[in-house]
Amino acid sequence: MNLSWMAWTLPTALFFGGIVLLLAAMALWARLRPANTPRIGILGLATQRGDRLFLALLGSAFIHLGWAAWAPLPLFVGSLISLVYAALVFRFV
Protein backbone atom coordinates (compact mmCIF):
# COMPACT_ATOMS: atom_id res chain seq x y z
CA MET A 1 0.00 0.00 0.00
CA ASN A 2 1.48 3.34 -1.05
CA LEU A 3 0.95 5.93 1.67
CA SER A 4 3.46 8.45 0.38
CA TRP A 5 0.67 10.97 -0.40
CA MET A 6 0.50 11.88 3.29
CA ALA A 7 3.25 13.04 5.58
CA TRP A 8 3.24 10.18 8.08
CA THR A 9 5.27 11.79 10.79
CA LEU A 10 5.26 10.44 14.33
CA PRO A 11 2.70 13.02 15.60
CA THR A 12 0.40 12.24 12.66
CA ALA A 13 0.64 8.51 13.27
CA LEU A 14 0.05 8.98 17.01
CA PHE A 15 -2.99 11.15 16.31
CA PHE A 16 -4.68 8.65 14.01
CA GLY A 17 -3.58 5.73 16.17
CA GLY A 18 -5.18 7.43 19.17
CA ILE A 19 -8.47 7.82 17.34
CA VAL A 20 -8.38 4.16 16.28
CA LEU A 21 -7.71 3.13 19.90
CA LEU A 22 -10.58 5.32 21.11
CA LEU A 23 -12.98 3.72 18.64
CA ALA A 24 -11.79 0.24 19.61
CA ALA A 25 -12.20 1.06 23.31
CA MET A 26 -15.72 2.37 22.68
CA ALA A 27 -16.58 -0.83 20.76
CA LEU A 28 -15.24 -2.96 23.61
CA TRP A 29 -17.15 -0.86 26.15
CA ALA A 30 -20.36 -1.31 24.14
CA ARG A 31 -19.73 -5.06 24.00
CA LEU A 32 -19.09 -5.38 27.74
CA ARG A 33 -21.84 -2.98 28.88
CA PRO A 34 -24.48 -2.90 26.14
CA ALA A 35 -26.99 -0.80 28.12
CA ASN A 36 -26.37 2.59 26.55
CA THR A 37 -29.30 4.59 27.84
CA PRO A 38 -29.31 8.30 27.04
CA ARG A 39 -28.69 10.72 29.87
CA ILE A 40 -29.28 14.44 30.15
CA GLY A 41 -26.29 16.48 31.24
CA ILE A 42 -25.53 20.16 31.69
CA LEU A 43 -26.33 20.97 28.06
CA GLY A 44 -29.87 19.71 28.45
CA LEU A 45 -29.43 17.24 25.58
CA ALA A 46 -29.94 13.50 25.79
CA THR A 47 -26.55 12.04 24.87
CA GLN A 48 -25.14 8.54 24.63
CA ARG A 49 -21.51 7.42 24.80
CA GLY A 50 -20.90 7.90 21.08
CA ASP A 51 -22.35 11.41 21.21
CA ARG A 52 -20.07 12.33 24.08
CA LEU A 53 -17.07 10.88 22.22
CA PHE A 54 -17.94 12.96 19.17
CA LEU A 55 -18.25 16.13 21.29
CA ALA A 56 -14.95 15.35 23.00
CA LEU A 57 -13.14 14.81 19.67
CA LEU A 58 -14.66 17.91 18.12
CA GLY A 59 -13.79 20.09 21.11
CA SER A 60 -10.30 18.63 21.26
CA ALA A 61 -9.76 19.51 17.61
CA PHE A 62 -10.66 23.13 18.32
CA ILE A 63 -8.44 23.19 21.42
CA HIS A 64 -5.52 21.91 19.34
CA LEU A 65 -6.12 24.38 16.54
CA GLY A 66 -6.26 27.28 18.97
CA TRP A 67 -3.25 26.00 20.86
CA ALA A 68 -1.19 25.62 17.68
CA ALA A 69 -2.16 29.12 16.56
CA TRP A 70 -1.72 31.12 19.75
CA ALA A 71 0.14 29.27 22.48
CA PRO A 72 3.93 29.45 22.74
CA LEU A 73 4.13 26.16 24.68
CA PRO A 74 4.56 22.67 23.11
CA LEU A 75 1.54 20.96 21.61
CA PHE A 76 1.50 18.16 24.19
CA VAL A 77 0.23 20.73 26.73
CA GLY A 78 -2.75 21.28 24.45
CA SER A 79 -3.17 17.50 24.35
CA LEU A 80 -3.28 17.37 28.14
CA ILE A 81 -5.90 20.12 28.16
CA SER A 82 -7.88 18.12 25.60
CA LEU A 83 -7.75 15.02 27.80
CA VAL A 84 -9.12 17.00 30.74
CA TYR A 85 -11.81 18.45 28.47
CA ALA A 86 -12.76 14.96 27.24
CA ALA A 87 -13.01 13.67 30.82
CA LEU A 88 -15.29 16.59 31.69
CA VAL A 89 -17.46 15.95 28.63
CA PHE A 90 -17.87 12.27 29.53
CA ARG A 91 -18.66 13.15 33.14
CA PHE A 92 -21.02 16.12 32.81
CA VAL A 93 -22.52 16.18 29.29
- The pTM assigned to this predicted structure is 0.80
In a domain, 3, yes or no: no
* Domain-located, residue 25: yes
State the pLDDT at residue 36: 82
Label residue 76 by pLDDT band (50, 70, 90).
confident
Determine the Cα–Cα distance for residues 6 and 21; give it in Å rounded to an integer: 20
Give the count of domains, the chain.
1
pLDDT over 90 at 71, yes or no? no
Is 71 contained in some domain?
yes
* Lowest mean pLDDT, pick from 25-29, 72-76, 79-83, 86-90: 72-76
Residue 4 maps to a domain:
no
Report d(CA 83, CA 86) in Å as an integer.
5
Give the structural domain span for 47. 10-92
What SS3 state is found at 58?
helix
**Whether pLDDT at 1 is above 70:** no
Residue 2 counted as domain residue: no
How far is Cα 30 from Cα 41, in angstroms, rounded to an integer?
20
Mean pLDDT of the chain: 88
- Quick check: is 5 in a domain? no
